[in-house]
Amino acid sequence: MKKLIPLSLFTIMMFVLPLFTGCGGDRSSDAMRYFMFEADRATLKADTIGGNICVKTFKMASPFDSSGFIYKKADNDYESDYYNRFIISPEILITQQCRNWLERSGLFKNVLNISSIASADYILEGNIINLYGDFAQGDLAFAVMQIRFFLIKETEDKPVIVFSKDYKEKIEVSAARPEDIVGGYDKCLENILSNFESDLGKLSLK
């Protein structure tokens, strides 16, 4: 029976180190990239509804409640991108963009967040139903966003939903790159908030 010859430390390291350096390939050395939304509404309008509105933090539907980007590869086939992410949870970013938009719109006297001690005449809630890059159509790439808004009026009796509606946008982008998808998201959000503002302006709430 042959005796086992003990391996030297050098020999062991020669075999083990490549396993660690090669595990995950070059991807492990890639720097993560962080993105945020920038919905632009530059002009101001006069007060049309009045009162204070409190914008609660929106809710994100699964499976899109992730900081990592989500891509649709085919029907019922989605994947998450660990290396390209929102800088914080996307529902917080979208909520803040909505607050900023409503402040610039002049529709309400004041736009409050949930931590404000001021009383609100209206409450805005939002559900983000879809948020993903759509690569399921061959060489074409799209940014997809869908938000459902609920405008609630505070009354002496009980809160009443005075307006609710879904808004969905699908914007074609030039390439299936994270920066292009984010640019598409910005355009989606601008269209959604613009249409939402237009619908609010048509309400008779006073």
Q: What is the CA radius of gyration of the chain?
A: 24
Spatial separation of the C-alpha atoms in residues 115 and 4, rounded to whole Å? 70
- pLDDT for the residue 58: 97
- Given its phi and psi angles, is residue 24 left (phi above 0), alpha (psi -120 to 50 degrees) or beta? left
Question: For residue 206, is it within any domain?
Answer: no
Question: For residue 35, is it within any domain?
Answer: yes
Mean pLDDT of the chain: 85
DSSP state of 13: H
Spatial separation of the C-alpha atoms in residues 70 and 130, rounded to whole Å? 10
Task: Express each pLDDT in 44-76 by its tens digit.
Answer: 666 688 899 999 999 999 888 889 999 999 988
Q: How many domains does the structure of the chain reveal?
A: 1
Instruction: Return the SS3 of 112.
Output: strand
- pLDDT for the residue 24: 38
Question: For residue 2, is it within any domain?
Answer: no
- Cα–Cα distances in angstroms (integers) from residue 74 to residues 36, 71, 81, 193, in the given order: 26, 9, 16, 28
Question: For residue 148, is it within any domain?
Answer: yes
- pLDDT for the residue 41: 80
| Average pLDDT estimate for 123-139 | 96
Q: Output the six-digit token pair for 180.
A: 């292009």
Question: For residue 145, is it within any domain?
Answer: yes
pTM: 0.82
Q: What is the dihedral of CA 187, 193, 194, 197, to 10 degrees?
A: 180
Spatial separation of the C-alpha atoms in residues 4 and 70, rounded to whole Å? 52
- Compute φ and ψ for 167, nearest 5 degrees: -130, 125
Q: Write out the residue range of the structural domain in which residue 21 sits.
A: 9-201
The domain that holds 170 is classified in CATH as 3.40.50.10610
Question: For residue 3, is it within any domain?
Answer: no
Distance of CA 1 to the CA centre of its chain: 66
- Tell which residue, 157, 140, 31, has the closest CA to residue 84: 31
Using pLDDT thresholds of 50, 70 and 90, give the confidence band for residue 155.
Answer: confident
Question: For residue 4, is it within any domain?
Answer: no
Question: For residue 101, is it within any domain?
Answer: yes
